[in-house]
A and B are shown apart, each in its own frame.
Chain A
């Protein structure tokens, strides 16, 4: 063990790791928000609640049907994604012609409903979800102890983020998506079913949130309010990064997670607020956001 700036290296790297973990969730969630906003022009306030739904889905699958972590990692996002698509068909599709604000208000209402139902059934205390057996334990890297599960979360979320970026920026499907964002009526004229694409995009964005939720379940407890606190930080992340760029959302998410982790080491009182302070500074220096294109 050695020291850096008077801080034991294990503490420093430990917080750095927690920062990367938080950053993974910021990145996954802000990515989902950006994808949904690009296509639907709606800020999905229920994103945090849907992240919480993912964690609950994993918990309930284990409790009632004995479905473990690995299948839940696929099943929970699919289930939650389907509820998202139903929400889009039932509610959101009527709002596209209105001011953006109504989308925010409606999804805020949905978030209250989801969180309220969860609280009624499970109270506000958290419920533990154990780390899958194959990922228990960890390895000693010499300068720090790295739990296997945490390494997996970072690798998995990085992979999903990069895969999403690749699909949207480098494939034909992504090209349709980007074209439909720019000019939906023209893309429709080419024979592409844009409304269905919008529904699927929303489902995908929601599934991303649920995926993050399943991965978060073993790290934080599964609790009804786990989403609402996170989503406000993610909003700040989105303001800092700007929603114009997929890669920007990923980089900003991880970066801010790390900065938050380091703040916990050097100035713990400010760790809750550092992202908001950075947001204020970015607004002063670069109002359009780090990767933004105006707006």
Chain B
């Protein structure tokens, strides 16, 4: 049977790696019981950001490409999802698809420009392109400028499930998040993923082995942008809001921070990181602008002291892979 066509492979790979299976089961159980103990809205938001961070990690962790402009895909998917749901009356599933497709197209355009340069330039290009699209969002009529798109209807999923019910919405977000997570897991552990890791370790060598690395990088970039789009589009439906915050550069920095705190290149790190950072933002909302300072301090501390991140350090300490 063709390896690439086996849909059960990701599940099988999980079974073969016990530490990851245990971590995955713990995560699913925690997410299933969590809404009975804490605010479902917070958890849904956290899952959207977790998927966003996982998508970002696909690039930095497994291809070694630092995109400093991932807010572009998250934010524009969020806008198109919100707009199509509100102005065109799209049902939620179509709205999310519209947002995701937008992110994929933006990812294809930005990615094919950015992969023309390496390393540090790649980061600067992605940041600059994201800033350009921020200005478009600022000037375009349909985005609502400073107000954003508010009061987006959640609608009825497939015409059956009313998403204004908080629990129904929660289950939908959980399913989207887990599907996205398993998809990324599948990518990373596929032959395609192995080539990506080879590019991360030594690109000239991968080229000399006959791989068209630019194509691999572009596909990885588009996949990452698309998944960031799924996260952004879903977030717009959950919070019923799309705003300039989602496309602006601090959002790009935030997803970098989440991934760095959790652990670059670990499969669970971005999830832990996004929960930690979001929790911090909620708890510290009272201190206002100091959040910015604290985030900066965490950045500095992570780079100097904990480059492996929370999950990376934990895995290292337990001598397992997560």
**A235 and B116 alpha carbons, distance in the complex (Å):** 16
Instruction: Kindly identify which residue among B120, B123, B304 contacts A91, using a CB–CB cutoff of 8 Å.
Output: B304
In the complex, whether B293 has a CB less than 8 A from a CB of chain A is yes
Report the number of A-B residue pairs with Cβ-Cβ less than 8 Å: 125
Contacts of B121 in A (CB 8 A): 239, 295
Partner of A112, one of B119, B120, B293: B293
Mask, A112-135, CB within 8 Å of B = 1, is: 111111011000000000000000
Query: Could you tell me if A106 and B136 are in contact, using CB atoms closer than 8 angstroms?
Result: no
B297 within 8 A of A: yes
Q: Is B276 an interface residue (CB 8 A)?
A: no
Q: How far is the CB of A285 from chain B (nearest CB, A)?
A: 10
> A283 contacts B298, CB within 8 Å?
no
Q: Is B101 close to A, CB under 8 A?
A: no
CB interface residues, A 225-276, toward B, < 8 Å = 228, 232-233, 235-236, 238-239, 269, 272-273, 276
- A109 near B127 with CB under 8 A, answer no
A67 CA to B35 CA in the complex, in Å? 59
Q: How far is the CA of A228 from the CA of B249 in the complex (A)?
A: 9
Contacting pair B127 A232 (CB below 8 A): yes
Most chain A CB neighbours (cut-off 10 Å) among B121, B136, B291: B121
8 A Cβ contacts from B110-142 to A: 113-114, 116-121, 123-125, 127-129, 131-132, 135-136, 138-139
Q: Does A101 contact B (CB under 8 A)?
A: yes
Which residues of chain B have C-beta atoms less than 8 A from A236's C-beta? 124, 128, 131
A58 within 8 Å of B by Cβ?
A: no
Among B117, B127, B256, B292, contact of A105 (Cβ-Cβ < 8 Å): B256
A145 proximity list for chain B (CB < 8 A): none
Contacts of B292 in A (CB 8 A): 112-113, 115-116, 119
The reply to whether A283 and B125 contact each other, CB–CB distance below 8 Å, is: yes
A110: interface (CB < 8 Å): yes
Residues B304 and A276 in contact, CB atoms below 8 Å apart: no
Known: A238-B124, A283-B125, A295-B117. A109 touches B298 (CB 8 A): yes
Q: How far is the CB of B295 from chain A (nearest CB, A)?
A: 5
Distance in angstroms between the alpha carbons of A95 and B303 in the assembled complex: 9
Are the C-beta atoms of B297 and A113 separated by less than 8 Å?
yes
What class of interface size applies to chain B in its complex with A?
35 or more
Residue among B119, B129, B138, B299 facing the most chain A CB atoms (10 A cut-off):
B299
> What is the predominant secondary structure among interface residues of chain B facing chain A?
helix
Which of A108, A272, A279 contacts B299, CB < 8 Å?
A108
Is A146 an interface position by the 8 A CB rule?
A: no
| Alpha-carbon distance A279/B110, docked complex (angstroms) | 12
Please, which residues of chain B bring their CB within 8 A of the CB of A235? Answer: 124, 127-128
Are A120 and B120 in contact (CB-based, < 8 A)? no
Answer yes or no: B183 CB below 8 A from chain A CBs. no
- Contact (Cβ within 8 A) A120 B125: no
B276-287: CB near A (< 8 Å → 1, else 0) gives: 000000000000
Is A102's CB under 8 angstroms from B296's CB? no
**Could you say which of B60, B135, B249, B293 has the most chain A C-beta atoms within 10 Å of its C-beta?**
B293
Q: Determine whether the beta carbon of B129 is less than 8 Å from that of A43.
A: no
Contact A120 B293 (CB under 8 A): yes
- Expressed in whole angstroms, the minimum distance between the Cβ of B309 and any Cβ of chain A is 12
Of the candidates B116, B120, B293, B295, the one whose C-beta lies within 8 Å of that of A117 is B293
Q: Determine chain A's interface SS by DSSP, over half rule.
A: helix
Interface footprint category on A? 35 or more
A115 to B291, CA, bound (A): 11
Q: A102 to B260, alpha carbons, bound, how many Å?
A: 10
Q: Is B289 an interface residue (CB 8 A)?
A: yes
CB of B253 within 8 Å of the partner chain: yes
Q: Known contacts being A112-B253, A232-B127, is A283 close to B290, with CB within 8 Å?
A: no
Contact A91 B300 (CB under 8 A): yes
Please indicate the chain B residues that have their CB under 8 angstroms from the CB of A288 in the complex: 117
Q: Is A4 an interface residue (CB 8 A)?
A: no
Nearest chain-B residue to A240 (Cβ)? Answer: B128
Residues of A within 8 A of B (CB): 37, 43, 91, 94-95, 98-102, 104-106, 108-117, 119-120, 228, 232-233, 235-236, 238-239, 269, 272-273, 276-277, 279-280, 283-284, 287-288, 295
- A to B CB contacts below 8 Å, 18 in the list: A43-B120, A98-B307, A101-B123, A104-B68, A109-B297, A109-B300, A111-B296, A114-B296, A116-B290, A116-B293, A116-B295, A119-B289, A119-B292, A233-B131, A235-B127, A235-B128, A273-B136, A283-B125
Interface residues of B (CB under 8 A from A): 60, 64, 66, 68, 113-114, 116-121, 123-125, 127-129, 131-132, 135-136, 138-139, 249, 253, 256, 260, 288-300, 302-304, 307
Contacts A115-B292, A279-B125 known; 15 new A-B pairs at CB < 8 A? A105-B256, A105-B260, A109-B296, A109-B297, A109-B298, A110-B300, A112-B295, A116-B294, A232-B127, A233-B131, A269-B139, A276-B128, A280-B113, A284-B116, A295-B119
**Nearest 3 pairs between A and B by C-beta?**
A109-B299, A112-B296, A116-B292
